[in-house]
Amino acid sequence: MYRRWLWPASALPGVLWLVLLFVVPFYAVLAVALGTVDPILFQPVPTWNPLEWNVGWLNEVFTRLAPGGIWFDVGVRTIVYVVIALALCLLIGYPVAYYTARHAGRWKGLILILIIMPLWISYMMRMLAWVNLLQEDGWVNEVLMFTQVLSEPQDWLGGRDLTVILALVYGYIPFLILPLFAALDRIDRSHLEAARDLGASPWSAFRRVTLPLSKTGILGGAVLITLPMFGDYYTPNIVSGAPSTSMIGNQIDLYFHGGPQPTIGAALTIVLAAFLTILMLYYMRTIHRAQREAGTVGAL
């Protein structure tokens, strides 16, 4: 009677793998962050028993992130970067997804391929492309000087907020457009036709039918790019490298790669993961509600 255990057995290797290399590692971060540090070697000593956990390092991280702390600016900057980048992504991505889903007609296949293509091009390649263009003698300066926007070349890669934000937008926007497209493409045209038949103006039909029905796509895409953006450290490093554009991820990177105290890095990782989990839970609640609302619209 192996019918009963065939399926659990088939799931077993995968479950075991994820427990050993995803759940246990996360527990290891907790154990290090809430552990102690060897007083002589300055090496982290993980504490495996939750009853003996020491919250000193977490407190240290919170003190540093609080107003007046040395990471306060970094924390605020990270949030500002992510919020602006997300807003720009939505501002550019929504019209693109909307056009592709609604109006592209016979070009739809081609446009979709071109929109998906950046997802399959290495992130580093795409960043490298911009680093080339943004050089002192690169094409961006050339074009801006040729069109008289600039009188002399600018150092775009020398720690500018604008460069980092635009790099984040460039890097993450394809991941937003795809879920947006999927949500917009799913909307049944008859809802819109009904709205127009009942006298809604095109704008009002968009605002009261299309927008609410694409809400799950907007939220899903937003979360999909917000979570990795909060953990990003390589983008600011590549297009700026200056401490003035450093994000939370850069602090974690710093404390592990060459930094003196992995324990602080681990504690900061825990704080970041907790913050992102809260975002995630908020998203799941909103999705749940949006789906219920969409259900009512569909029923109407």
Partner 1 sequence: MTAVAEPRARPQPSALTRLRGWFRNPWGKPRALKVVTWLYILWSIVPVLIAVQFSFNATRSRTVWDGFSDRWYWGDPVDSVWHDPALSNALAQSFKLAIADVLIAVPIGVLLALGLARWRGRGSGTANFIMLFPLVTPEIVMGVSLLLVFSHVFTFIETGTTAQILGHVTFSISFVVVIVRARLFSIGRQYEEAAADLGATPFRALTRVLLPLLMPAIIASAAVVFAISADDFVISQWLSSGGPTDTVPVQIYAATRAAPLPSVNAIATIMMVSTLLIVTAGFLTWRLLTRGERRAGKAAEDMGAFNLN
User: Footprint of partner 1 on residues 83-122 (CB under 8 A)?
Assistant: 92, 95-96, 98-100, 102-105, 108-109, 111-122
Q: Are 274 and 29 in contact, with CB atoms under 8 Å apart?
A: no
Q: Is 71 in the site for partner 1 (CB under 8 A)?
A: no
Q: Is 158 in the site for partner 1 (CB under 8 A)?
A: no
Q: Is 129 in the site for partner 1 (CB under 8 A)?
A: yes
Q: Is 249 in the site for partner 1 (CB under 8 A)?
A: yes
Which among 75-83, 146-154, 211-219, 252-260 is the span making contact with partner 1, rule CB under 8 A? 252-260
Contact set for partner 1, span 265-284 (CB under 8 A): 265-266, 269, 272-273, 276, 280
Query: Whose Cβ is closer to partner 1: residue 15's or residue 70's?
Result: 15
Which among 53-61, 68-76, 148-156, 249-257 is the span making contact with partner 1, rule CB under 8 A? 249-257
Cα end-to-end distance, the chain, whole Å: 49
Binding mask 174-213 for partner 1 (x = CB under 8 A): xx--x--xx--x----x-xx--xx----x-----------
| Secondary structure class of 39 (helix, strand, coil) | coil
* CB of residue 68 to partner 1, shortest distance in Å: 26
Q: Whole-angstrom Cα distance, residue 208 to residue 202?
A: 10
Q: Are 61 and 72 in contact, with CB atoms under 8 Å apart?
A: no
Q: Is 18 in the site for partner 1 (CB under 8 A)?
A: yes
Phi/psi-derived region of residue 35, left when phi > 0, alpha when psi is between -120 and 50, beta in every other case? beta
Q: Are 226 and 86 in contact, with CB atoms under 8 Å apart?
A: yes
CB atoms near residue 282 (< 10 Å): 12
* CB of residue 132 to partner 1, shortest distance in Å: 5
Interface residue with partner 1, options 34, 61, 164, 252 (CB under 8 A): 252
Which among 2-10, 49-57, 68-76, 147-155 is the span making contact with partner 1, rule CB under 8 A? 2-10
Tokens, residue 129: 């492309």
DSSP 35: S
Give which of 55, 75, 73, 74 is closest to 267, Cα–Cα. 55
Q: Among all chains, which residue has been given the structure tokens 């980048």?
A: 85
